[in-house]
Amino acid sequence: MRHSRGIATGAAIAATALALTALPSLAGAVTSSPTGTSAKTAAGTTLTADALRAAEEMPAGALKAMQRDFGITAEQARERVANEYRAGEIAPALAEDLADSFAGAWTTGDTSTLTVATTDASEASAITAQGARAKVVEHGMDELKAAKAALDRAAEKNATTAAPVWYVDVKTNSVVVRASDTAEARAFAEAAGADTDLVRVVKSDEQPRPLYDLRGGDAYYINGSGRCSVGFPVTKGSQQGFVTAGHCGTRGSSTTGYNRAAQGTFQGSSFPGNDYAWVAANSNWTATPYVKTSSGNVQVAGSTQATVGASICRSGSTTGWHCGTIQQHNTSVTYPEGTITGVTRTTVCAEPGDSGGSYISGSQAQGVTSGGSGNCRTGGTTYYQPVNEILSAYGLTLKR
């Protein structure tokens, strides 16, 4: 059933659009209205003030990395960031408005066009009215999440590394299980009691693992030996510190910084099940709102979750700054040590030592590196633990 709130929110978004003069760098990609009260892309999409600002304030390093990794122009990169910010505003409003018929949202293309799926064809006009494409599908998000939850429960007792990854794939309206042994994966799904009509098994050589050996992205060392990467600086009251991956250290483990100076102690750590932790730093260290890029820093402005299909960049102490796209949220991954749930799957590459490092979309913090497969020479797949869950779990505040 449609609710009025989502459409009202969409109208409010359009009303707060900013004139083109606020973002000269998008000239050619965006045109201003005769009254100077709105800005539109070539496709006719209205952009908000915040969306335009996100594109305007892109650091040079992030802009260059997106051009390199996506094969797009600087103008396309800025338009992409603006459209993805706008998608992050509109998709949640449409999800609430469509209620039970909502079946996911994602962006595609060089400049990130938003698509919203629904099980009710009569809702298509409400979706297109907000500037998104509509896709009518068979299964709603609640149905897909229920099937995935069955797999999650089964993995607690009988996980298998032959089927190490599963997620709700909004683009195909199914729950995908990636497996080296498809027969074992199907048996796993059947034993889990998941609706097999919703489960799609995909042959894959992927074998995720925590990225051991190791500012956001800077190196730190655990108990004088293993190396990981700082996720995001945080505070808890007057205490300063940072979030990182749980597999990097256990509660009580000591850390030294990139300079090998005494740094802090793990205050909490969860792995497997989750893959997050936080470290309290000593008084010699000060939390900053920055993530290291290939040519400087990007300042964190918040932690609004980006949509599936959005561009995202990662900073790590082994391979530095790399970009890709978000493939799926709420993914479950089985490592040799056990299964973790609720991570996000991406096309960004990473290597050992990058674990715990920062994932950021535009200026919005997204998560910390958990694990993956492949490398940054031939490409790979990685997973991050969403930062908002970590902040909530430990009562932390993101430094920004």
Write out pLDDT tens, residues 169-195: 999 999 999 999 999 999 999 999 999
Active site residue 247: yes
CB-based contact 241:267 (threshold 8 Å): yes
Residue % of the chain over a pLDDT of 90: 80
Please determine, for residue 44, whether its predicted confidence score (pLDDT) is greater than 90: no
Cis peptide preceding 272, ω within 30 of 0:
yes
* Average pLDDT of the segment spanning 338-351: 97
pLDDT tier for residue 210 given thresholds of 50, 70 and 90: confident
Distance, in Å, from the CA atom of 118 to the CA atom of 97, rounded to the nearest integer, reads: 11
φ and ψ at residue 371, rounded to 5 degrees: -165, -170
Q: What six digits make up the tokens of 246?
A: 């749980």
pLDDT tier for residue 45 given thresholds of 50, 70 and 90: low
Please tell me which residue in 355, 363, 370, 373 is annotated as part of the active site. Answer: 355
CB-based contact 165:345 (threshold 8 Å): yes
Range with lowest mean pLDDT among 133-137, 139-143, 212-216, 278-282? 212-216
Q: Return the pLDDT at 33.
A: 37
* Average pLDDT of the segment spanning 44-54: 80
Q: Return the pLDDT at 39.
A: 58
Please determine, for residue 337, whether its predicted confidence score (pLDDT) is greater than 80: yes
Please determine, for residue 5, whether its predicted confidence score (pLDDT) is greater than 70: no
Distance, in Å, from the CA atom of 47 to the CA atom of 358, rounded to the nearest integer, reads: 27
Please tell me which residue in 139, 247, 322, 329 is annotated as part of the active site. Answer: 247
Q: Which residue has the higher pLDDT, 64 or 39?
A: 64
User: What residue type is assigned to position 204 of the chain?
Assistant: S
Distance, in Å, from the CA atom of 142 to the CA atom of 104, rounded to the nearest integer, reads: 10
pLDDT tier for residue 18 given thresholds of 50, 70 and 90: very low
Among the listed residues 75, 77, 28, 18, the one whose alpha carbon sits nearest the alpha carbon of residue 52: 18
Distance, in Å, from the CA atom of 392 to the CA atom of 303, rounded to the nearest integer, reads: 12
Output the average pLDDT for the chain: 88
Q: Return the pLDDT at 159.
A: 87
Q: Return the pLDDT at 40.
A: 56
For 229, the enclosing helix (H) or strand (E) is strand 226-229
Q: Return the pLDDT at 59.
A: 87
Pick from 54-58, 223-227, 250-254 the range whose average pLDDT is largest.
Answer: 250-254
Active site residue 275: yes
Distance, in Å, from the CA atom of 19 to the CA atom of 205, rounded to the nearest integer, reads: 49
Please determine, for residue 3, whether its predicted confidence score (pLDDT) is greater than 70: no
What domains can be seen in the chain, in order of their start residue?
4-136 (3.30.300.50), 141-203 (3.30.300.50), 208-400 (2.40.10.10)
Q: Return the pLDDT at 295.
A: 87
CB-based contact 313:366 (threshold 8 Å): no
Please tell me which residue in 97, 218, 275, 354 is annotated as part of the active site. Answer: 275
Write out pLDDT tens, residues 64-85: 999 999 999 999 999 999 999 9
Q: Return the pLDDT at 20.
A: 22
pLDDT tier for residue 47 given thresholds of 50, 70 and 90: confident
Write out pLDDT tens, residues 125-168: 999 999 999 999 999 999 999 999 999 999 999 888 899 999 99
pLDDT tier for residue 209 given thresholds of 50, 70 and 90: confident
Please determine, for residue 35, whether its predicted confidence score (pLDDT) is greater than 50: no
Distance, in Å, from the CA atom of 96 to the CA atom of 111, rounded to the nearest integer, reads: 25
Distance, in Å, from the CA atom of 171 to the CA atom of 327, rounded to the nearest integer, reads: 9
Q: Which residue has the higher pLDDT, 387 or 6?
A: 387
